[in-house]
Amino acid sequence: MTPTSEKPRIRVPSGRYRVVDSADHLELWHQVDKTPTTAIKEANVDGQQITSIDGMYVVEQATKMFGPIGIGWGTRIDEERFDTGAPILGNKGEVIAHEQTHTIRLTLWYRWHGERGEVTQYGHTRAVYRTGVGKWKTDGEAPKKSTTDAMKKCLSLLGFAADVYYGKFDNKNYTEVQQAATRIAVAEDQDAEIENYRNDYWDWIKRECDTLRNKIPHPKSIEMAATGMLNRLSDKASMARVEPDKGREMLIKARDEGIARVIAENEKAKQQKEEVNHD
């Protein structure tokens, strides 16, 4: 067989073939996977703390990537129903009612590079239920909430707000980076805001170098502290919009100098002790 340098091709719904590069597969994902902190909020769902995404934010992002809704992308409801939920028991343990959950199966369609794609997901909302204080409640907006839930799930499979679904906002360092990116994006003077972060970054580097070099009394402790600083370095540099190489070199040098200092101090103390004993 004669070797070929042709790139792989995929069959598209029209029956034609389109040449693709492996890098194409994450092109959309990498454009929409980061979420600004203004588009998220903490929510309590059945006693569990979760990070919730603003529905209008993902609608705006989808419109930005695909075009106006109804033209570049859109949704259709394939199935809608009310499901019987948990039983509600009376004073004698008898079943007196059931909660009701609104469920829809929604398909989101979109156009990307001239081709049409579809994603399907379910959305669920408690529609009729008894609250924690024993009162019955009917949520008149359950259908809207289910639709938004399913739509956000569909878009998440394309990479929209993927950092939220990965749970990255549970990491304090990642949250700080996204907060910085958000503040820079909305600042009236972005250059001045970036300069502030850069000043903070170099102040942090200098303080940590001084700590490693002069303030930790044991070599092992110096190594552990330096490892923690180096692990945070990339996020700190990202916030300041600088390359981390110089800061990494400064921290490593301060670590080595700190260890050398402790070893020299211990050796000096040992010699002084030997001299005293000798006398």
Number of alpha carbons in the 13 Å side-chain half-sphere of residue 25: 5
CA angle 180, 186, 188 (to 5 degrees): 115
Total-model pTM? 0.67
| Residue 142 pLDDT | 93
| Residue 4 pLDDT | 46
DSSP secondary structure letter of residue 62? H
| Residue 44 pLDDT | 67
Contacts of 12 (CB under 8 A, 6+ apart): 18, 115
* Separation between Cα atoms, residue 219 and residue 221, nearest integer Å: 5
| Residue 136 pLDDT | 85
| Residue 268 pLDDT | 86
CA angle 224, 229, 231 (to 5 degrees): 95
125-142, pLDDT tens digit by residue? Answer: 999 988 877 788 899 999
Residue-wise pLDDT tens for the chain (279 aa)?
444 445 444 444 445 555 555 557 889 999 999 998 888 887 766 666 778 899 999 999 999 999 999 999 999 999 999 999 888 888 888 888 889 999 999 999 999 999 999 999 999 999 998 887 778 889 999 999 999 999 999 999 999 999 999 888 888 888 888 888 888 888 889 889 999 989 999 999 999 999 999 999 999 999 999 999 999 898 889 888 999 999 999 999 999 999 999 999 988 888 887 777 776
* Separation between Cα atoms, residue 103 and residue 222, nearest integer Å: 56
The two tokens of residue 15 are: 């029956």
| Residue 276 pLDDT | 74
